[in-house]
Chains A and B, each alone.
Chain A
Amino acid sequence: MAATFVPFSTFCDTSFWSEVNRRKLNDWMLDESPKRIYGQFSIYDKIGSNCRLSLSHESFSTSKSSYPGSFHLYNTLDGFKASDKAQLLKIHSQQIWDSIKSEAWLENPDSLFNFFTIAFADLKKFKYVYWTCSPALCYPNSIGQTISKFEGNVEKISKFDENIFIYTAGECKNIKELKSFDKSDDVYIVLADPSPVLSSFGWPVRNVLAAVAITKPEWSSANFIALRGSQDYQVFRYTWEHGIAPEDVPKSVGWERNAQDKLSPYSVDLSKQFDPKKLMEQSVNLNLSLIKWRLVPDIKLERYSNLRVLIFGAGTLGCNLSRGLMAWGVKKISFIDNSTVSYSNPVRQSLSEFTDAKEGRGKAQVAADALKRIYPSIEAEAYNLTVPMPGHTVDSSGEAKLAEDVELIEKLVVEHDVLFLALDSREARWLPTLLANRHKKIAISVALGFDTYVIIRHGIGFSEPSNSPRTFCVTTKEKVPYAHLSCYFCSDVTAPGNSTADRTLDQQCTVSRPGLSMIASGLAVEVLSSILQYPDPLEAPAILGDLEDEDPSILGSIPHQIRGFIGRFQQMTPCVKRFDRCVACGHAVGQQFQENGWKFVRNVMNSPTHLETVTGLDQLQHSVNDVEIDFSEDSD
């Protein structure tokens, strides 16, 4: 039957291109002259339909089981495209032909495997195009093959450490000895065969066949042993049409086909390997994937990577929250803050430094910039603005600005999926709470006392008008729907029933034990991570009573609140139902904002009868009931 040969396919590993990058930049620069390389082959492959010719970083120095070749790196893609492929093939085929005609190949059989690779390397984008040609002379004509099992001394052959040699009468000899044989049937030519296909020899045999046909013009057949890793050696007996050797180089072929079986260059994008930004992205993603593969197979990681988070406050809590979110794979984080970094901040705020304080830079901007330095793939935004606060009066000259700010904050709330409320004053959380409810966003409050902390996930949406009284946290196993949970303001009016130690946590404001911020931020991030794994995160219920009994999320329980007391290193997870007349999430407030928008905000800011403004702005809780009643009167 007609002989078929398994063609080459070049495999350049990452280290090859890494070495090309290095040499191009440091040594070759604009030099386009061909460079010597050595392509490795393997006689062990059994899978695939090509012989693998491998190039790696060590291909620029000689090694065993390799063919010598040349590497032509063009300076431009146009140069690569314009190179005369037919001419290149002809030149290399001519060299092979000369080696055959002069019988130099018997001394130096490697000269038969004269491959060359042309390439272009885009060192900015780390994209490479390359094309390898392993010239094979189409000579002799009408080659036929029959395959049989090798019956001779396998041991001797496998121990003879050459790529090509002859085997005759039970002995292995150098290929040079071939000349001395008269009959082709007296000798086997043993050739290392990279072909993974049992029924076909690999590409290298073609030029050896041509060489044998020229060197032994009287022969019209030859026996080849395919030297493969399996040692199940096969004999390929080739026959061909006897003819007169041509003077000129015969037709030759050898440009590789790509994966689509077309004669065209390979291209490869290694930006993931060489672009440091993508390297980091890949490593971060793998680490997260390991959570999925190893520990929580059903985890939906895309719920973190697609999440847009808005953090009110870029202080110590905001900084630590963002770091936890970033580690979960959250890519979009925005900060709102109106203050600048002061000298006391950098030691506590994990994203600011001495120079930020020295230059008086804005906290939000400092935090966003730092995130991008830490992880360039992150999309971090900073908004330097003051959140309008109840009791902070505004006169008519400030109204335009107020309207603008309220509009911007509302727009930001709409554009994000999750809000963290980490501003240091109590009243600053009022408007964000209201807006979160208005747009049914997940909102999580984090607040610190001196040695206490609280994390609350606010109920979704405004409360429904209702006459039923508030329910306190008790030991029932009731599942409280997300929409029935209290917000930061509801839960402050009355303390949870099962703790006598609870008190308003932020009265001591920013003076807190330094480790607290990291603890509270870490917990808040993990509350969010659990919420997000609930089938519909906006429905994630909390359990009244013991958390251990049920695991609503694949990451475990999703507490409504976490309250910690570092003085005794204790923590509790109360669940509190919402207060339907709450100053921030009650339906009356929602209605007021719906009807009057920023003007309602202005009224709250200015109205001393609504909110006690005398002592300021952080005393909202004292007048909470009055405020609520007043609101009700307004809406009447």
Chain B
Amino acid sequence: MQDFPEELEDFCGIWKEWKIVKGTVPLENYGKLLKTIEICGEIAILEVNIVYSLIYRVPVLWFAISSENGEPVENGSVEEFLRGCARKMGKLVVAKYSLNEHPVLGLLYYNIHPCSTNREIFKSSSPENSINKIAQWLSNYGPDLGIYIPSGIFF
């Protein structure tokens, strides 16, 4: 998916809750969303990044959850949050995630493993299929993190 930077630009232009963070090269640009959430009654801030993976050649969801003072929450709260998201989808298993170095920031973030990403979305480049590819992809994988695309903005 070499057109990731363009698709991201388009995506963030339409869904303004997302901001583009510029990397040193366009393929390092990533989309960023900050959202106030609640985990077991506690207010927390969820940061979600859409980062392009040079290895898998697909977008990957990276995320961090911090309490209001900016301190990352415990692993258990992260698991609890993901369970809540899975429940909302009617699923019993949470997404496959782990703790890794963020490819652009170099800090420890969680990521959803891209191995199960459906690549078909990124293959189609026919002009009649004008729906943003990142939006199509996110409509599949965003709910793992409680991210739902508002109806009507892409499809």
Contact = CB atoms under 8 A, between A and B. Distances in A.
Interface string B70-96: 111001100100000000000001100
B105 interface: yes
B70 A289 contact: no
Nearest to A16: B70
A411 B98 CA distance: 41
Interface string B4-44: 00000000000011010110000000001011111000010
Contacts of A174: none
Nearest to B106: A18
A273 B36 contact: no
B117 interface: no
Contact of B69 (A44, A57, A266, A286): A266
A283 B108 contact: yes
A321 B58 CA distance: 39
Interface string A22-58: 0000000000000000001010111110101010111
B71 A47 contact: no
Given A11-B70, A64-B19, A287 B75 contact: no
B145 to A, nearest CB: 15
A11 B66 contact: yes
Contacts of B64: 13-14
A354 interface: no
A13 B49 CA distance: 13
B86 to A, nearest CB: 11
A57 B105 CA distance: 9
A65 interface: yes
Contact of A48 (B21, B43, B71, B107): B43
A13 B108 contact: no
A80 B107 CA distance: 27
Given A9-B68, A14-B66, A273-B107, A40 B34 contact: yes
A196 B99 contact: no
Contact of A44 (B35, B45, B72, B79): B35
Given A11-B45, A11-B66, A52-B45, A283 B99 contact: yes
A307 interface: no
A65 B19 contact: yes
Contacts of A238: none
A173 B108 CA distance: 44
Contact of A259 (B66, B69, B108): B69
A622 to B, nearest CB: 54
A293 interface: yes
B34 A289 contact: no
Contacts of B16: 229
B19 A40 contact: yes
Nearest to A63: B19
Nearest to A9: B68
A609 interface: no
Interface residues of A, number: 46
A203 B32 CA distance: 24
B36 A15 contact: no
Interface in B97-134: 98-99, 105-108
Given A40-B19, A48-B36, A18 B107 contact: yes
A372 interface: no
B11 to A, nearest CB: 15
B43 A47 contact: yes
A58 B76 CA distance: 29
A266 B68 CA distance: 10
Interface string A524-553: 000000000000000000000000000000
Contacts of A268: 69-71
A465 B69 CA distance: 65
A357 to B, nearest CB: 35
Contact of A282 (B19, B70, B108): B108
A267 interface: yes
A58 B21 contact: yes
B70 A47 contact: no
A380 to B, nearest CB: 24
Q: Which of A42, A267, A279, A287 has the most CB of B within 10 A?
A: A42
Given A47-B43, A289-B79, A13 B70 contact: yes
Contact of B68 (A11, A16, A293, A294): A11
Given A44-B17, A47-B36, A286-B99, A279 B108 contact: yes
B132 to A, nearest CB: 18
A279 B107 CA distance: 10
Nearest to A272: B72
Nearest to B93: A294
Given A45-B36, A47-B37, A272-B72, A282 B99 contact: yes
B85 to A, nearest CB: 14
B66 A289 contact: no
A270 interface: yes
A46 B71 CA distance: 21
A518 interface: no
A293 B79 contact: yes
A290 interface: yes
Contacts of A393: none
Contacts of B36: 45-48, 52, 196
A282 to B, nearest CB: 7
Contacts of A215: none
Contacts of A266: 69-70
A269 interface: yes
Contacts of B107: 14-15, 18, 273
Given A47-B43, A65-B19, A282-B108, A267 B38 contact: no
Interface string B52-76: 0000000000001010111110011
A45 B43 contact: no
Contacts of B106: 18
Interface string A249-277: 00000000011000000111110110000
A555 to B, nearest CB: 20
Contacts of B45: 11, 13, 52, 54
Nearest to B45: A11
A259 B66 CA distance: 14
Contact of B98 (A16, A65, A196, A290): A290
Nearest to A270: B71
B45 to A, nearest CB: 5
Contacts of B17: 42, 44, 229
Given A42-B35, A268-B69, 16 more contacts: A14-B72, A18-B106, A45-B36, A47-B38, A50-B68, A56-B32, A65-B19, A259-B68, A266-B69, A268-B71, A270-B72, A272-B72, A282-B108, A287-B98, A287-B99, A290-B98
Interface of B: 16-17, 19, 21-22, 32, 34-38, 43, 45, 47, 64, 66, 68-72, 75-76, 79, 93-94, 98-99, 105-108
List the 4 closest pairs (A to B, CB-CB), nearest first.
Answer: A47-B36, A12-B70, A45-B36, A286-B99
27 contacts: A14-B70, A14-B72, A16-B70, A17-B70, A40-B34, A42-B17, A42-B34, A45-B35, A45-B36, A47-B38, A52-B45, A54-B34, A57-B105, A65-B19, A229-B17, A258-B69, A267-B69, A268-B69, A268-B71, A269-B71, A270-B71, A270-B72, A279-B108, A283-B108, A286-B98, A289-B76, A290-B98
